[in-house]
Amino acid sequence: MDYTEADRFVKSRIKEKRYLHSKSVEEMATELALRFGVSLEDAKLASIFHDAERYSFDQRSADYLRENGFEVYREEEENPMLLHGPLASLLLKELDPSVNEEVITAIRHHTLGSRSMGRLGAILYIADFAERRREHISELDRKSILEKESLEEMVLRILELKESYYKESGIKEAEVTRDLHSFLISGGHFE
């Protein structure tokens, strides 16, 4: 599936506000891909497709994902909205079995993050959190993310910001996210 086809497909499936978010994610992901030497084509495709299943999950989604070889995290089971990432990655793979596996992995992990999300996954994770239309972070926080030297430092800064929010809100951080945090604190790098 090429980008133009994916863009048309996604635009027909999601609300206008969500589509504009996806386009803004794409813009930031493109900038980050250029900066860090990651495929622009892959960054654009992952960005436009990451929320393609944002409105398509239901009670059967977790079982459907497991039947198709996906691990479903406890936090995704408890909050099915989080399943839109793995569902979108599965949908893209079904529509185009030849799609780059890095794109599938990036889309799958864009909500909770993962030490195995790779460089493209880190770019999507950062762009999804910090895209310029997002109002949940201040310009100062956005700048504090984007001025970091590496993808690892950027993701770590996002995790710090999320950790503060979780503590204030009484939300328990997902185990896969805590693992990502430990991985980065101990000097881990995305492949």
CATH number of residue 35's parent domain: 1.10.3210.10
Rg of the chain over Cα atoms, rounded to whole angstroms, equals: 16
9-43: pLDDT as tens digits: 999 999 999 999 999 999 999 999 999 999 999 99
pLDDT at 58: 85
**With contact defined as beta carbons under 8 Å apart, do 29 and 124 qualify?**
yes
Is residue 169 situated within a structural domain? Answer: no
| Torsional sign, CA 67, 182, 130, 26 | negative
Is residue 177 situated within a structural domain? Answer: no
Domain assignment of residue 99, given as a range: 3-135
pLDDT at 17: 96
Residues 80/175/28/102 CA torsion (nearest 10 deg):
-90
Is residue 113 situated within a structural domain? Answer: yes
pLDDT at 169: 75
Total number of domains constituting the chain: 1
Look-up of token digits 């794409």: 26
Q: How many CB atoms lie within 10 A of CB 149?
A: 7
Give the residue among 79, 84, 129 at the shortest CA–CA distance from 108: 84
Is residue 140 situated within a structural domain? Answer: no
Is residue 35 situated within a structural domain? Answer: yes
pLDDT at 179: 97
Is residue 145 situated within a structural domain? Answer: no
Alpha helices in the chain (DSSP H): 3-11, 16-36, 40-49, 61-67, 74-78, 84-95, 101-108, 118-130, 139-146, 151-169, 175-185
Residues of the chain with pLDDT under 50: none
Is residue 47 situated within a structural domain? Answer: yes
pLDDT at 150: 98
Is residue 148 situated within a structural domain? Answer: no
Give the residue among 54, 58, 45 at the shortest CA–CA distance from 85: 54
